[in-house]
Amino acid sequence: MINKRVTYMLILFCISFFIHSQNKQVLDGVFAIVGNNVIFHSDIDNQVLQYQSQGNIDDLDVLRKRVSEELFFQKMLLHFAEIDSVEVDYSQVQNTINQRISFFKEQLGSVEKVENYFQKNINELTEELTPIVKDQLVLQKMQFEITKDVLVSPNELNKFVAMNHPDSLPIIDAQYQVAHILKIPDAADFAVEETLSKIESLRNRIINGEDFATMAILYSEDPGSSRNGGAYYNISKGDFVKEFESVAFSLNIDEVSDVFKTEYGYHVAKLIDRKGNKIDIRHILMTPKISTQDMKGAKLFLDSLKNNINQGSVSFVDAAKQFSSDLDSRYNGGLLVNLATNTSFFSLNDLSTTILNQIDSLEEGDITDPIYIKLPNGKEAYRIIKLVSKIDKHVANLTDDYPFLNNYYLSIKKEKKIKEWQMNNINNVFIQASDILLSYDFYKKLFKNE
């Protein structure tokens, strides 16, 4: 069953897709023309609907003005991006689309279900998403270029907090620190041998003339590339795990690698092209199958490990370091990192429903029983979760919330920088404004420096 958060994301995705895939007609009504970019009244209507689907309860008039301002700013950015020749790589666009489709495939269950949900096949979906995603990436790049030099010094942050009454500072919701020990079961020897035999056989068929791309489509277990003939384009060092890159960047063009291993399984790769420090490459991935007995063994191991931790024979930190399969957290006591804040603290909204349900009844220091988890790479595992600490709801302060306040003030400074950019450039773009736009305060303020 799809959870509420994913349902919202699907709704938003569908609305956004619907907006961009419709052919605009003159009768639709033009709200504004910004350079070569048009804002239709229906754009605003649909964006308002999108916000309302998220539970936005703003007054409708207030919401329409906010949406109008956002769309106007986006069209300005796209106009100057074209003038400044700001572009994004085709591969970046395709990778972003593939990630989105993979996400919905994971949530809905299969490619066929994704196609049925959107009533389009994957090729049609990809084709119609391409200009949407391209514009989104260009917008991100333009905003980065405008604000990339904006920084916050410790002295600035101290002054900002001192000058603001506590009532005007943000409220921090309850925060949780969560650690886990993940156990990915090892495949049995016979499963490893079977997988090695299969991928060696595929490699031999390729060496003897069979098409690599076709073999990848038929046999590769990498959902991110198999439908694309196993190909990834414009790959830089750091994009993939080091074991994969070590082989990929050592190949000559059209050379087929030996079979090699990464944390994802066993691979064979072929270099398509090399362009400076970037490469285009195909690969086939095959993963040894994990049996029910392997999974039971992982669960029993964590059961025993939890008992040892609770009895004091080993600490959770040491157990994570020694036994956890999660390389990102094992040397950090198993602490999970909130990628949105780059800290180990999570609000209720940041935590997945699965983790929330598991820690809801825990006291600080308590550990769950082993919990089944399916990882993003498709592997199955068990883990035990510890509630390390909980901070109650409070007014943000420099002692407990320095990273949050730093990001908060940085966003304020970036917003100010963007407003300055708009005011400095508003006279350098052709604008045809409707009477409604002319009446909006945000539009009038853009010209106040004249």
450 is a domain residue: no
Shared-domain flag, residues 22 and 117: yes
pLDDT exceeds cutoff 70 at 356: yes
CATH of residue 65? 1.10.4030.10
d(CA 116, CA 62): 36
Segment 112-148, tens digit of pLDDT: 788 888 888 888 888 888 999 999 999 999 999 999 9
34 is a domain residue: yes
* Domain boundary pick from 286, 314, 341: 286
| pLDDT interval class at 17 (50, 70, 90) | low
d(CA 281, CA 256): 10
Shared-domain flag, residues 18 and 102: yes
Q: Would you state the pLDDT for residue 385?
A: 95
| pLDDT interval class at 203 (50, 70, 90) | very high
Is residue 178 classed exposed, middle or buried when 0-12, 13-18 and 19+ CB atoms within 10 A define those classes? buried
What is the bridge-based pairing of β-strands 265-275 and 278-286? Answer: antiparallel
Find the mean pLDDT for residues 72-87: 93
Count: domains in the chain: 3
d(CA 62, CA 15): 21
Shared-domain flag, residues 266 and 359: no
* Domain boundary pick from 286, 302, 320: 286
pLDDT exceeds cutoff 70 at 319: yes
Q: Would you state the pLDDT for residue 15?
A: 42
Shared-domain flag, residues 281 and 338: no
387 is a domain residue: yes
Q: What is the pTM of this model?
A: 0.58
pLDDT exceeds cutoff 60 at 387: yes
Domain that holds residue 245: 189-286
Task: Report, in angstroms and rounded to the nearest whole number, the Rg of the chain calculated over CA atoms.
Answer: 26
Contact 269, 251 (CB under 8 A): yes
d(CA 317, CA 180): 10
The token pair that represents 305 in the structure block: 């490990």
Shared-domain flag, residues 381 and 360: yes
244 is a domain residue: yes
Provide DSSP, 8-61: HHHHHHHHHHHHHHSPP-GGG-EEEEETTEEEEHHHHHHHHHHHHHTT--S-HH
Rounded to 5 degrees, φ, ψ at 335 are: -65, 130
Shared-domain flag, residues 120 and 22: yes
pLDDT exceeds cutoff 80 at 56: no
The token pair that represents 18 in the structure block: 């619907």
One-letter amino acid at 295 equals M
Segment 391-411, tens digit of pLDDT: 889 999 999 889 889 999 999
Shared-domain flag, residues 249 and 113: no
One-letter amino acid at 435 equals D
380 is a domain residue: yes
Q: Would you state the pLDDT for residue 27?
A: 42
Shared-domain flag, residues 124 and 212: no
300 is a domain residue: yes
* Domain boundary pick from 240, 259, 286: 286
> Residue 88 gets which letter from DSSP?
-
Shared-domain flag, residues 306 and 372: yes
pLDDT exceeds cutoff 70 at 317: yes
130 is a domain residue: yes
Shared-domain flag, residues 19 and 146: yes
Q: Would you state the pLDDT for residue 8?
A: 41
Strand partners, 390: 176
Provide DSSP, 401-431: HHHHHHHHHHHHHHHHHHHHHHHHHGGGS-E
Find the mean pLDDT for residues 196-211: 96
Task: Provide the mean pLDDT of the chain.
Answer: 87
CATH of residue 264? 3.10.50.40
CA atoms within 13 A on the CB side of 296: 3
Shared-domain flag, residues 38 and 130: yes
The token pair that represents 72 in the structure block: 């106007």
For residues 379 and 297, the model is more confident at 297
| pLDDT interval class at 9 (50, 70, 90) | very low
Find the mean pLDDT for residues 279-302: 93
| pLDDT interval class at 3 (50, 70, 90) | very low
402 is a domain residue: no
Q: Percentage of residues in the chain with pLDDT exceeding 70?
A: 92
Q: How many other CB atoms sit within 10 Å of the CB of residue 202?
A: 20
Instruction: Give every CB contact of residue 225 below 8 A, 6+ residues apart in sequence.
Output: 216, 231, 232, 282, 283
Contact 305, 325 (CB under 8 A): no
Q: How open is the CA angle 157-163-166, to the nearest 5 degrees?
A: 95
Q: Would you state the pLDDT for residue 173?
A: 86
Shared-domain flag, residues 231 and 298: no
